[in-house]
Amino acid sequence: MVLKDSMFGKMLHDAWQAALRPKIQGSWNLHEILPAELGFFIMLSSLNGVMGVNSQANYATGGTLQDAPAQYLVSIGLPATSLDLGAVNSIGFVAEGSEYARHTTAGLEQLQENEIHYLLDYILHMQARGSSGIAEQACQFTAGFSSEAMYLDEGVPVPAFLQFPLFTHLRLPTTAQNNRVFDVRKLIQASKSLE
């Protein structure tokens, strides 16, 4: 994982390549080096590739370009899954506790290590079954999205990506939305500390 954040219009080519290269080249190198008769192939990717993040277009593209080879490999009969993860707070980058990590994962459901283990176990069992119907569905999984209700409960504005049709299952019914209005200005004015 390499993060070189910048708004896309101001992103330098080196920053673009730095975030893309490990995900793309690393994943493809593994596919090329490992034997074709593998029983499973799982790439850990990011939800950023599904939802997009303004200042992480390079990192999000890397995630998306892991999802595509997984679909291709499955289409030619090989086991492959891209597991798009959100914030994992018990191990790794977020668990190390940097302010940057807390900022970039704000609003995402916090996954635990044991949940990642369960997901990997589930995917391994799906790939071991090997039927084409199951394998095609298993080329991409996502874990760690927050629902609209979770954002509202935290007093955080609902991100724009939740309005896309892909995410209708995460939104509240219209009647529930109307009952959960909040004013960000008033919430900030009412806060007792910077946090």
- 87 burial class (0-12, 13-18, 19+ CB within 10 angstroms)? buried
Domain assignment of residue 1, yes or no: no
pLDDT of residue 181: 56
Give the domain extent around 32: 8-145
Considering the domain architecture, whether residues 155 and 118 belong to the same structural domain is answered as: no
pLDDT of residue 107: 55
Residue among 40, 80, 44 nearest 63 (CA): 44
pLDDT of residue 120: 92
Considering the domain architecture, whether residues 84 and 113 belong to the same structural domain is answered as: yes
Domain assignment of residue 2, yes or no: no
Considering the domain architecture, whether residues 111 and 191 belong to the same structural domain is answered as: no
pLDDT of residue 168: 81
What's the structural domain count of the chain? 2
d(CA 47, CA 63): 8
**Domain boundary, last residue among 128, 145, 162:** 145
**Both tokens assigned to 153:** 């409960």
Average pLDDT, 10 consecutive residues per value, the chain (195 residues): 84 89 85 82 86 83 86 86 85 65 58 90 83 58 84 79 82 58 71 80
pTM of the model: 0.71
Considering the domain architecture, whether residues 91 and 185 belong to the same structural domain is answered as: no
pLDDT of residue 178: 47
